[in-house]
Amino acid sequence: MNTTSKTTDTSDLREDFLAGMRYVANSVTVVTTDGKAGISGATVSAFSSVSADPPMVLVCLNAESNTLEKIRDNADFCVNVLPEGAKHIAERFAGFHDEEFPDRFDGIDVTASKGPSPVISGATAFICKLDEMVTSGSHVICLGRVIETHAGNFTPLIYMDRKFKRISDLEG
């Protein structure tokens, strides 16, 4: 196994951190929100389960994110975990096609739920009420209390080493 480390100054620390994070695999989600502040959605890999009693999740969004601003005002959000065939949706909500599709939701199928935030059809969705926001460095952690879950029976899309990947079973 090859590992490297060099921790001398702040810029090395940042570069080492980013290099390490390239080898962390995450599910790809689209975090959506709607309400009095309007609709928004962004691709987010910084997602985690927090608690089952009560059901809680967290997502981390850059402090500059438009979606974050709207989550703050709407106090509602939905975490849509994408299936492996939905790379195009991940790219759309990461802003790769904002010029072609200024409305990121254009042509995206959504499903009704208990909350106002869009549930992307075919995704595993955690529909949340915003519980708390915690600023940490460049990002804001949004803690959500889950009010409804739609479980999709599929293999999730993965992001690792700056690429989209799929999961495969280990033999044996």
The answer to the question of residue 58 lying near ligand FMN (CB under 6 A) is: no
If the CB atoms of residues 29 and 56 are measured against ligand FMN, the closer one turns out to be 29
Sheet holding 40-44, edge to edge: 40-44, 29-33, 76-81, 124-136, 139-150, 55-62, 47-52
Q: Single out the residue of 38, 41, 156 nearest to residue 101, CA to CA.
A: 41
* Residue tagged 């803690």 (tokens): 143
**Shortest CB 172 distance to ligand FMN, Å:** 31
The answer to the question of residue 46 lying near ligand FMN (CB under 6 A) is: yes
If the CB atoms of residues 43 and 117 are measured against ligand FMN, the closer one turns out to be 43
Distance CA 120, CA 27 (A): 15
**Residue from 12, 95, 161, 166 binding ligand FMN (CB under 6 A):** 95
The answer to the question of residue 65 lying near ligand FMN (CB under 6 A) is: yes
In terms of Cβ atoms closer than 10 Å to its own Cβ (0-12, 13-18, 19+), residue 54 is: exposed
Q: Single out the residue of 108, 105, 119 nearest to residue 147, CA to CA.
A: 119
125 neighbors 119 (Cβ within 8 angstroms)? yes
The answer to the question of residue 66 lying near ligand FMN (CB under 6 A) is: yes
Candidate ranges 8-16, 58-66, 129-137, 148-156; the one touching ligand FMN (CB under 6 A)? 58-66
The answer to the question of residue 67 lying near ligand FMN (CB under 6 A) is: yes
The answer to the question of residue 159 lying near ligand FMN (CB under 6 A) is: yes
The answer to the question of residue 57 lying near ligand FMN (CB under 6 A) is: no
Q: Interface with ligand FMN by CB under 6 A: which residues?
A: 28, 40, 42-46, 60-62, 65-67, 90, 94-95, 159
